[in-house]
Amino acid sequence: MQDILDGLNEAQAQAVTSTEGYVRVIAGAGVGKTKALTHRYAYLVNELGISPSNILCITFTNKAANEMKKRIKTMLGEEFDTSFVATLHAFCTRVLREDISKLFYPENFIVLDNIDQKNILEEVYDEMNIKMDTASFKFMIDQIRYYKNLITYVEYLSDPSFDYNTLTSDKKSEEIIFRYVKKQRKYFGLDFFDLINFTIYLFGKFPDILAKWQKRLHYIMVDEFQDITAKEFKLIRRLTEINRNLFVVGDPDQNIYEWRGTNMSVLVDFDKWLDDPCFKNKLNTSCKDMIMNENYRSTSPILNVANSLIDKNNNRVKKNLFTQKDGGQTAEYFHGKNDKEEIKYICDKIIKNKETGGRYSDFAVLYRSNYVSRFVEQGFLINNIPYVVYGGIGFYERAEIKDVLSYMRLVDNSEDDLSFMRIINTPRRKIGKMKLEIVKNYAKNNSISLYNALKECYHLESFKGCKAKEFIGAIEKLKEQLNTLSVSELLQKVIKDTDYEMYIRESGDIERLDNVSELLRSIVTQETEYGEPLSLSAFLQNITLLRDSDREDKSDCVKIMTVHTAKGLEFDHVFLVGLTEGIFPSARSLEERKNDALEEERRLCFVGITRAKKNLYLTESEGFGVKGYSKVPSRFIFDIDKNLLKMIGHLPDEIKIEATLQVEKFNKKTDVVYKVSDQIRHKVFGEGVIESVDEKTKTYYIRFVNGVKPINFNYNGLSHIF
């Protein structure tokens, strides 16, 4: 036993040896919870003699599961079966492989991945003569997830006599979902949403199958418990009803996925959830609590900053992270006059470290939203600092940025066939393969560009019913205004006159609009703040040079990513950038979910801070901010005890006052204006009817022609239909 407990601190050892009953462990960032979990597993096997086939250990990613398996085998030996160390989806797949025949599915059913889902949706879109792109795919997957939260759909999918012809709808989005589900059944395919729903349904319909698994699993452990949904917990809780041994470990301060449906209250109010009256079998049991808060990752100055920030949250289990490490540099807070100063500060730190023998890969730049990466990438390219966008794609490689730049290139140069081909059907204009073939042949025969060929062909009978005339009209009008508009004004007219902005809004992927807005903001900054004259040709040439810069060597490079992507990672030196009110915390999140969102945004900032091992740098700058707000420091800067931060730069009093006013603006109470059954007109989605009102999240749920949309109380694009 001593071997297994060697190297554990008191809290970890207590977690390892507390094997019986219901145990909740609150484990802060960097405290070695994976070590505690793997040693507990080894303790159950080695010291208590429990077979691995009777232990279920749930993790939330395959990467985490593989890491735990590797550590367990190191302690116990390669011969031990660790197949029950798995994600919840993998466990549900195991359950269904044994007994899904009861639901009239074959045991070799297909688990659909992202590509499979897209292929099925493409079939549906082809049948309905609808063009699908990345945005519409993402939007429909979200709609399918929303539909599948209603577990009742499993009932008819598992009924061999069900008549699928009854699944029809006049609403396009519902018809797409119904066709998708029918094709799933045809292929005997289950996606990730289905795996849990089918398992819950199987257990409910066949109590003997549930009992088999309840008897088999004597010990259940769940990692990252703060990220569990209520549905997932109810499944796990049912599995414990016979042996009643459940060990959960998590950190309420690191729950950053409530917008995905995770329910942090399951961890915070664990004992109440155990005896939830909705369960038939009352457990009437108490749970044992313990806290692991000795951090092995960060220095004391970094932990003090993290503790000071997160202490402002109310919905949490109180704890303070500490470390036995000595020393550490005071965290720095940089305020600049513009993002040029902000990126210069960042680059100077990285370059100085490199010159003194450090590595680029020692650094990570973290931000709240993807569009913030624009000024970071641009600064790194100019300063020849190698970087990689971790878990994403570069700003100038994003589809929407390529689209709007292609429009601007075509306005600047009608000979640009590549740009023409990229945007001729984005948004959809019904200019299909046959019409494009006519255009290409005409262009080839007359030695002219595709755009000029379309100008001469669009009046032909073959082009009747498409929007070629409208496309040419928009481009020609923009060309006429080319010499009178600034580059920023041209971009705004491009996305409006070509219907590209409406196209993005209707896709439901507002992050794409944020990226276009960031491109616009960068142009406005060049035109005004820096005092540099800017022509369209010069702007496009500069963008091309940035995109074509040599960045092939990725062996030693700075990693840049969102804070969401960084969860679970650690770096020697961390820059948390773009700490501007309205960006971090996100204005959109605050408008949608008010105080719940504020606490989640603060947890997200906490996660970003606790990624740092040696040095932490918080940065922001003045300038043009998100719509409706000037750029002022995030409230999270002021949440932190100022004695814990070394101030770099000068923060004027008037900016502090403006920051306070913006916070007060967000904090004001929003009243309900509309009620259930009101007929509403939305400036984008058209006419609809309010089906429900959620005062907690400040949301109207309105049914439009293309489905139900959640619309925030603060949105000013609604009006009554009288």
Q: How far is Cα 514 from Cα 490, in angstroms, rounded to an integer?
A: 18
Q: Within a 10 A sphere around the Cβ of 689, how many other Cβ atoms? A: 14
Q: What is the 3-class SS of 611-652, one letter each residue?
A: CEEEEEEEEEECCECCCCCECCECHHHHHCCHHHEEEECCCC
679-682 and 718-720 strand pairing: antiparallel
- Residue 322 CA, chain-centre distance (Å), reads 30
Catalytic-labelled residue, pool 93, 229, 254, 262: 254
Catalytic-labelled residue, pool 194, 223, 311, 622: 223
- 143 a catalytic residue: no
Handedness of CA 60, 64, 66, 70 (dihedral sign): negative
Give yes or no for a contact between 107 and 97, defined as CB atoms under 8 angstroms apart: yes
Work out the angle between the directed axes of helices 88-99 and 230-239 (0-180°, nearest 10): 60
Residue with tokens 């400040």: 698
Work out the angle between the directed axes of helices 510-527 and 399-412 (0-180°, nearest 10): 50
Residue with tokens 């395959």: 62
Catalytic-labelled residue, pool 12, 24, 33, 593: 33
In the chain, the amino acid numbered 407 is: Y
Give yes or no for a contact between 247 and 23, defined as CB atoms under 8 angstroms apart: yes
Give yes or no for a contact between 305 and 640, defined as CB atoms under 8 angstroms apart: yes
- 224 a catalytic residue: yes
Catalytic-labelled residue, pool 14, 19, 34, 481: 34
Inter-CA distances, 453 with 134, 406, 409, 438, Å? 29, 18, 17, 9
- 33 a catalytic residue: yes
Catalytic-labelled residue, pool 224, 253, 581, 596: 224
- Residue 365 CA, chain-centre distance (Å), reads 17
Nearest one of 76, 79, 26, 11 to 48, comparing CA atoms: 76
Q: What is the 3-class SS of 646-714, one letter each residue?
A: EEECCCCHHHHHHHHHHHHHHHCCCCCCCCCCCEEEECCCEEEEEEEEECCCCEEEEEECCEEEEEECC
- 34 a catalytic residue: yes
- Could you tell me which residues come within 8 angstroms of residue 317 by beta carbon, excluding any fewer than 6 positions away? 26, 252, 268, 291
Q: How far is Cα 632 from Cα 657, in angstroms, rounded to an integer?
A: 9
Q: What is the 3-class SS of 107-175, one letter each residue?
A: CCCEECCHHHHHHHHHHHHHHCCCCCCHHHHHHHHHHHHHHHCCCCHHHHHCCCCCCHHHCCCCCHHHH
Q: How far is Cα 280 from Cα 550, in angstroms, rounded to an integer?
A: 63
The residues that are catalytic are 33-34, 223-224, 254, 611
